Every structure is written in C-alpha cells, then in structure tokens.
Amino acid sequence: MSAGGLQRLGEWCARHFVVVIVLWLVALGGVHALQSAFGGTYSDDFSLPGTQSYQGLAVLKAHAPGSGGTGAQIVMHDAKGPLTGAQSQVDQAVASLQHLPHVLSVQNPLPPAPPGAVSGDGRTGYITVRFDTNPTSLGQGYLSGVDGAVAPIRAAGVQVEYGGPLGELARPKAADLTSEAIGFAVAVVVLLVGFGSVIAAGLPLLTALISVVVGLGCLSLLAAAFTFASVSPTLATMIGLGVGIDYALFLTTRHRQRLIDGESPVTAAGRAVATSGRAVLVSGCTVIVALAGLYVSRVGFIGKLGAAAGVTVITAVLGAVTLVPALLGLVGRRIDRVSVRTPVAEGTTGPDAEAQGGWHRYAQRVERRPWWFLVGGLVVVGVLAIPLFSIRLGHIGDGADPTSFTDRRAYDLISAGFGPGANGPLTIVVDQSKVPAANRSTLSADLTKALTGVPGAASISPLQPTGDGQALIATAVSSAAPQDAATTSLYKHLTDVSLPQGVAGTPAEAYLTGTTAAQLDFLEIIARRLPLIIAVVVALAFLIILAVFRGLLVAVKAAVLNLLSIAASYGVVVAVFQWGWGGPALGVSGKVPIESYVPMMMFAIVFGLSMDYEVFLLSRVHEAWTRTGDAEASVAHGLEITARVITCAALIMVSVFAAFILSDNITVKMLGLGLAVSVLVDATVVRLLLVPAVMTLLGKSAWWLPRRLDRVLPRINAEGE
C-alpha cells in the first residue's frame, strides 16, 4: 500500500475511532464464540511419510493391526507387594479399556500373559494400550474414560501413572497466563520509565493483547481442520505479544512526536501510519516470509509451527495499522495527561538537539573509534556462541519433566523397574511377504544372528511372526534413556548394520518403528534440511533489505550480523540445557539435548524479528543519508532518533519471551530463553555496537548498488512520507 493510502487509512481510523473499536470488539467476541463452539485441539505428530518408521508402521497396520497405531503405557506400582495381589482389578481395568473408543488393543502384563511387562520383583508393571489415533488429540473428556477404567486398580491401593501420549494428555494445561502477566508487568514499567506517559504506555499493551487474543481464536479454528503441534498456541502467544507491542510502540512514538510538532491528532495518526506503519508492514511481511520459509523443510509439523506463529503476526500488523490509530484518535491530545515524569517522544531532529543528545554523543564515539566497538562486539558474540559447536539435537524425554507430571512419574517407575531404555523401545518389523515360505526359517535364523550382541542394546526380544505369518516383530530396548546419544547410536546400528545384514540376499524388508524411531527419523530429516532453511531465510531477508535500502553492503551486513546474534543465542541455549549450566534453576531435571526443531524455529523467528530494529534504525539512517549525503553523520542521526525506542522495544520483547521460561514445557523454556537472548543481543551488541561501527567503516560504499541490479529490484520505501 502506498504512503498516501496508509495515511488515509490512519486518518480514517482516527476520525471514526468508534466504528473501528467496535469492529475489533465484535471480532474479539465473535472469534471467541466460534472458538468455543468449533475450536480444535493440538497434538504432536512426528510421522513422516516415506521414512522407515512410517513404512514399518504401515506393515504393522497391514499384518498386525493390534500392534500398530499409537502406543501408550499405564504404569502400575504396588509398594505393598507383587501386582498379582491386584490381579482381578487389573483384569477388570483391561476389559474396560478394551471397550473404549479408538482402542486397537490392550496388553495385560499379568499371567497368563507372557513375561516381560512386569519387573523382576513383581511390584511394577505396565498395561500397553494401542490407539488408532494419537490420544493427545482426543481431549480431556477421553482421559476421564481412561481414569474410570483404571479406577479399580487405584482403589486397590496401587499407584497408577500414565506414560507416552496418555501422559501428555494428562499434563496440566500450560500456565501461559502467568507468563503473559509477568511480561505485561515488565512492559508497563519499561514504557513508563522510557516515555513517561501512562496512556502512551498502556495503548501498545492493549492493542497487542486484543490482537493476540483474536489471532489465537483464529488459530483454534484452523486447528479444527489441521493438526497443529501442542506448543503452537504458546509459540503464537509469544510472537504475537512481542511484535504486537513493538509495532504499536513504533506508531505511538511517531504519533506523539507529531503532536509535539504541532499537528492535529487525526493528522498525526495518519502520518504515523504512513511512516512507521509502512515500516511495520515491511517488518511484518519479513517475519511472515521468514516463518513461511520453514515450509522449505517439507516437514508438515515444522511448517505448521511457522504458520501458527504467522497467524498472530498478521493480527498484530492489522491491529497496529487500524486499532492503534483508532485509539490514538480516541485519546486525542490527552495522551500525555497522566504521566509519571515529563513525557518524551522519539527524539527531535534539530541540529542543536542532536548535538546535545546522549545517544548522539555515543554515536560520535563510535564514529571516532569504530574498530574498538566492532572488535568488542565480535568478542562478546563469539564468546556466547562457543557452546554452539557442541550442539546435539534430539528429543526431550519425559524424564526431564517436573515430578508433578504423571508421565514423569511413569518414566521413573519404568526406569527403576526395567531400565531407562524401556521408556523408548524400538519395534523391529520385517516384511517377509515376498519371501517364499520355505526360506522364512532361514531368514529368521539370519536375523536372530544379526540381532545378537548389538552394541548398546539392553535386550532384543525373539522375533515373533504376525498372525498371518507375513511379518516378523521384535522389540529392542536400549541400555540408555530414549533421549541419550547411546540410543541414537543403537538406532543407527540397527538401521544401517544389523537389519540390512539380517535380510541381505532376500526380498525381505526390515524397519524400525514406534514413537522413538519416528522421533529419530524426524531428527535426521531436520538436521539434514536445517542448512537449506537457513539459506532460504537469509536469502529472502537479504533481498528485502536490498530492495528497501538500495545498498548491497547494507544488505550483506544485515544478513551477517543477524547470523551472529542467532549463533550467540544458540550458544546460550546449549550451555543452559545441554551442558546443564543453570538448567535445574529453570526447572529442568539433568542435561537434555536441544529439541530437534527448536534451532529451526528460533532461526526463522529471530531472523524475522531482527528486521524490526534493522528497518527502524536503517530507515532513519537512510533518510538522513539521502538528505545530506554525509554517511557518518547519518549513522549518528539514526542512532540518536531510534536508540531509546529500540531499547525499550527490545526490553519489552525480552521480558515477554523470558517470562515463558516459567512454563513447565521444556521446549517452551528453550524457545523463551533462546528468543529472549537473541533479541537482547540483537538490540544491544548488534544494533548499538556492530551496526554503527560497520556502517561508519563502510561509509558511502554502504549505499552502493550496481545499476543493473538497481533497475531490476522493486522499490520499497520503508517509511515513505
């Protein structure tokens, strides 16, 4: 949209503020009502068509339907004695579970069942229930049915805990409200200290909250038609609040400066939307493009995480360019009536005021010694990034969850009774349908030999034929926990060595399947495609900066420095969670790998969010450069005008992200910490040290652009008047 069109939109919203506010309130109420009636649920689906775990599951469904589907454990522990003392209650519970909808099979661990699901002392055992869908998508009502089925066991004094997907379903709902409240409280303090005005501080928070709630309602409606990961609403809340407050802050700050310069509230709101609103559109589109880049992974789970975050980014942009000017029109010149100190705006533009500004004097110091600031910034980022070189991707197991979670208690009971590897068994499936019946005994013998003495395996059960004899099934249990590197090594040895050796020279096909195998397949694909995601997102951001600011080296600088801030945040996440430096203080039990999709999500989100400050700062530098032709003075001017707003916006976004570290979900903790560190490094070390130093060193060459490229590139004005 042109600057003129944006100005007319802003003025219309400010002049007809009642209509705009009512429309937003109607949208808020309508989306909430639709969500309550038709909203969907969230569940994790790591299955990937074409992978060996997916193919193995298809073989199970075809030849052993009761062994396919999604498995979950109901773990029992009797502190008084062997579980056989509650034999009748267990039998009753198994019979009740078999009658629940979506249940394919239920395996009773007690006699006459074959041994294996009861510990050596007889006190611990687990019922294996297989479902035709992921139980996490069935809702709390379904869990009540499971509770009712196992009630006789609990009544007999036996401890009952849920593992796997049932445990995830039974987890307490994420307390995002606490994190949001903390983030909001810090944002209020930052805005009051930074700008003085109570109304100006509250307006960005109000618009961000309304925009995010509307976005979450839309996401819930989409979840009724598509499968979104369980972390999706939390991720969407984090991103929506962060960008929503920032975008509203940018517009409010520009509006207040226009009021101070003598414009009417309606005109000031229109000019704010035409200038900062245009930067918001550029920044929002960049964030959405970065998130859309996740679809390059060709993994639906990852792409939908980006789509979920993109929903609230869209509503945040819409709220910024419509609801913000409407509220500004409502308050008019009363915006500074209630204040805690003398209100200030974004900064003045007169030469005398600039020369007296603290940020201007700081920029002049950078101008005098750019190499010192450049080296200092690089040292800080380099030290923070050191742990990145030892990053280990994986899946965070239930053993890292708080002991208040039933799946954590189930994990501990199974570890104590059967060993840690029993929490993530690997199912071996051999399709022998193409093997002549006369040769199947030889195949079984060869496989048994190949599966003997496998490194890292605590046990591998004997191969058993399915009911129709077309497939063989066995279970491999690692000597280590599912998330340990030793289990990954076992998985690779089985898929790359043991199973190929066992079926060599035959038409049989062997697979590893089950939840753990699917997670490891997912991990391999993510690790293989992460470089492609990085390349695509960097290229898109480079092109956007190049088109907006018409400077080849400016665009290169933006891409390189953004990569540095992301590397620093990766390093901090590795040190805290993988190395265990402070993990227990954050509620993490022991050292855990980095959740496989966290680096990919962090990269797309941070690279998009960093464009907020990049566009906001460089637009002012570019504006001064085109007006004066003085490269060094332009950097000082841009820093003077934007430093306070960037600092306040960054502190707000950091507080919003950091508040989510309080979540019980380890993945949310990782994302919250990683995003908070990324924004903090980006807004301080990068924007206030590296960017001015590099821009000063580049001088006029920063804005050089080959003529042929200039003719080809579209022209995008970030803050067009």
User: What's 126's domain CATH number?
Assistant: 3.30.70.100
pLDDT band at 349, cuts 50/70/90? very low
pLDDT, one tens digit per residue, over 421-444 is 999 899 999 999 999 999 999 999
pLDDT at 630: 82
What angle, 0 to 180 degrees and rounded to 10, lies between the N-to-C axes of helices 265-292 and 324-331? Answer: 160
CA 206 to CA 248: how far, in whole Å? 9
Enumerate the H helices of 451-510 as residue ranges.
Answer: 485-493, 499-503
Q: Are residues 500 and 539 in the same domain?
A: no
- Select from 315, 346, 377 the last residue of a domain: 346
Q: Are residues 211 and 341 in the same domain?
A: yes
Beta bridge partners of 595: 394
The answer for 9, left when phi > 0, alpha when psi is -120 to 50, beta otherwise, is alpha
Biggest CA-to-CA distance, the chain: 96
Q: Are residues 544 and 651 in the same domain?
A: yes
| Residue matched to tokens 């504006």 | 623
Beta bridge partners of 459: 477
Range from 191-195, 483-487, 534-538, 579-583 carrying the lowest mean pLDDT: 191-195
Beta bridge partners of 428: 474, 512
pLDDT at 662: 83
DSSP 149-164: HHHHHHHTT-EEEEEH
CA 292 to chain centre: 14
Beta bridge partners of 511: 429
CA 317 to CA 71: how far, in whole Å? 42
* Token duo for residue 68: 């396919």
Q: Identify whether 339 is part of a domain.
A: yes
Q: Identify whether 181 is part of a domain.
A: no
pLDDT at 351: 39
CA 721 to CA 460: how far, in whole Å? 71
Question: For the chain, what percent of residues have pLDDT higher than 70?
Answer: 94
Beta bridge partners of 76: 125, 160
Length of the chain in terms of residues written: 721
Q: Identify whether 415 is part of a domain.
A: no
Q: Are residues 709 and 644 in the same domain?
A: yes
CB atoms within 10 A of CB 355: 12
CB contact at 8 A, 433 and 60: no
Give 459's DSSP letter: E
DSSP 228-276: --TTHHHHHHHHHHHHHHHHHHHHHHHHHHHHHTT--HHHHHHHHHHHH
Q: What is the mean pLDDT of residues 254-283?
A: 87
Q: Identify whether 95 is part of a domain.
A: yes
Q: What order do you get walking across the sheet with 124-131 strand by strand? A: 103-107, 124-131, 70-77, 159-163
Give 225's DSSP letter: T
Q: Are residues 498 and 617 in the same domain?
A: no
Q: Identify whether 116 is part of a domain.
A: yes
pLDDT at 353: 40
Looking at the structure of the chain, the number of domains it has is 4
Beta bridge partners of 476: 426, 460
Beta bridge partners of 75: 126, 161
Q: Are residues 290 and 202 in the same domain?
A: yes
Q: Are residues 542 and 558 in the same domain?
A: yes
* Token duo for residue 662: 């309080």
Most confident range, picked from 15-19, 293-297, 335-339: 15-19
pLDDT at 355: 43
User: What's 578's domain CATH number?
Assistant: 1.20.1640.10
Q: Are residues 29 and 53 in the same domain?
A: no
Most confident range, picked from 149-153, 243-247, 423-427: 149-153
CA 641 to CA 192: how far, in whole Å? 19
Q: Are residues 675 and 569 in the same domain?
A: yes
CA atoms within 13 A on the CB side of 357: 23
User: What's 475's domain CATH number?
Assistant: 3.30.70
Checking if the pLDDT of 458 tops 50, the result is: yes
Residue 476 is inside which H or E element, if any? strand 471-478
In which domain, by residue range, is 223 found? Answer: 1-38+196-346
Q: What is the mean pLDDT of residues 161-185?
A: 77
Counts of helices then strands in the chain (DSSP H, E)? 26, 11
CB contact at 8 A, 440 and 452: no
The 3-state DSSP class for residue 118 equals: strand
What's 581-620 look like in SS3? Answer: CCCHHHCCCCCCCEECCHHHHHHHHHHHHHHHHHHHHHHH
- Select from 513, 538, 569 the last residue of a domain: 513
The 3-state DSSP class for residue 202 equals: helix
Q: Identify whether 353 is part of a domain.
A: no
What's 682-708 look like in SS3? Answer: HHHHHHHHHHHHHHHHHHHHHHCCCHH
Residue 147 is inside which H or E element, if any? helix 140-155
pLDDT, one tens digit per residue, over 494-540 is 999 999 999 999 999 999 998 889 889 988 888 888 888 888 888 88
CB contact at 8 A, 329 and 623: no
The answer for 391, left when phi > 0, alpha when psi is -120 to 50, beta otherwise, is beta
Beta bridge partners of 160: 76
CA 420 to CA 339: how far, in whole Å? 59
Q: Identify whether 178 is part of a domain.
A: no
| Residue matched to tokens 């803050």 | 719
| Residue matched to tokens 């590795």 | 574
CB contact at 8 A, 537 and 607: yes
Task: Output the CA–CA distances (angstroms, integers) from residue 674 to 44, 412, 442, 661, in the order listed.
Answer: 21, 29, 53, 10
CB contact at 8 A, 648 and 249: yes
pLDDT at 628: 84
Burial 664-673 (b: 16+ CB within 10 A, else e): bbbbbbbbbb
Q: Are residues 108 and 127 in the same domain?
A: yes
Checking if the pLDDT of 682 tops 50, the result is: yes
Q: Are residues 570 and 452 in the same domain?
A: no
Q: Are residues 317 and 454 in the same domain?
A: no
CB contact at 8 A, 326 and 13: yes
Mean pLDDT, rounded, of the chain: 86
Q: Identify whether 681 is part of a domain.
A: yes
